[in-house]
């Protein structure tokens, strides 16, 4: 029984520590990049609408790679682009239109019936979808980016680690006391 408790204790400690480190990573990465966390050269974007369902669900996080060469777009690729009103959208390329030196792309959300009304200038494409998404994690990251979320997600795991450390120390001290009492009774007998 003690061995099982010790294993559970170690797993819980490791889990709390990993959650704490992940929270620190998400908060620091979000704050330093101006809102979107980054990981190993990928930007993590939150899906805010259902226009690309079933490819990604609303609230998912998708990994996108920043675009370096705007002349290599192909029909069928999923790209993230900046619209005229400075909103960021992720849709699928339906057509690539070359007009001299300018390249425009016609996009469409997978869940939309019609193509987007405005073609996108190739230089407004900021990233390409890499094929990685995590459903519903976006809700969590949006919460983590808020002031309240930042405070809660940094403080709560830290407090839990402190309380768990205190519990572990108290348990260890009790075991030491039991060992000393047992050795004292042997000496007096």
Cis ω for the linkage preceding 54 (within 30 of 0) = yes
Distance CA 134, CA 56 (A): 9
Other Cβ atoms within 10 Å of 91 Cβ, number: 23
Q: Of these residues, 49, 60, 71, 165, which one is catalytic?
A: 49
User: Alpha helix locations (H) across the chain?
Assistant: 2-32, 137-145, 147-188
Which of 77, 58, 74 shows the shortest CA–CA distance to 130? 77
- Contact at 8 Å (CB) between 61 and 138? yes
- Specify whether 33 is catalytic: no
The residues carrying an active-site annotation are 49
């Amino acid at each position: 029984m003690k061995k099982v408790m010790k294993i559970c204790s170690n797993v819980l400690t490791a889990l709390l520590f990993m959650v704490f480190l992940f929270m620190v990573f998400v908060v620091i990465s979000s704050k330093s990049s101006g809102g979107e966390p980054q990981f190993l050269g990928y930007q993590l974007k939150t899906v805010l609408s259902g226009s690309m369902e079933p490819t990604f669900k609303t609230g998912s996080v998708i990994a996108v790679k920043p675009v370096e060469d705007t002349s290599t777009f192909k029909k069928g690729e999923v790209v993230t682009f900046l619209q005229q009103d400075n909103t960021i959208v992720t849709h699928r390329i339906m057509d690539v239109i070359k007009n001299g030196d300018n390249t425009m792309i016609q996009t469409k959300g997978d869940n939309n019936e019609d193509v987007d009304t405005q073609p996108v200038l190739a230089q407004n494409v900021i990233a390409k979808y890499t094929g990685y998404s995590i459903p519903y994690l976006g809700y969590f990251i949006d919460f983590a980016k808020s002031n309240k979320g930042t405070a809660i997600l940094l403080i709560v795991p830290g407090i839990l680690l402190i309380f768990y450390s205190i519990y572990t120390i108290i348990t260890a001290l009790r075991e030491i006391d039991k060992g000393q009492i047992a050795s004292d009774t042997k000496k007096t007998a």
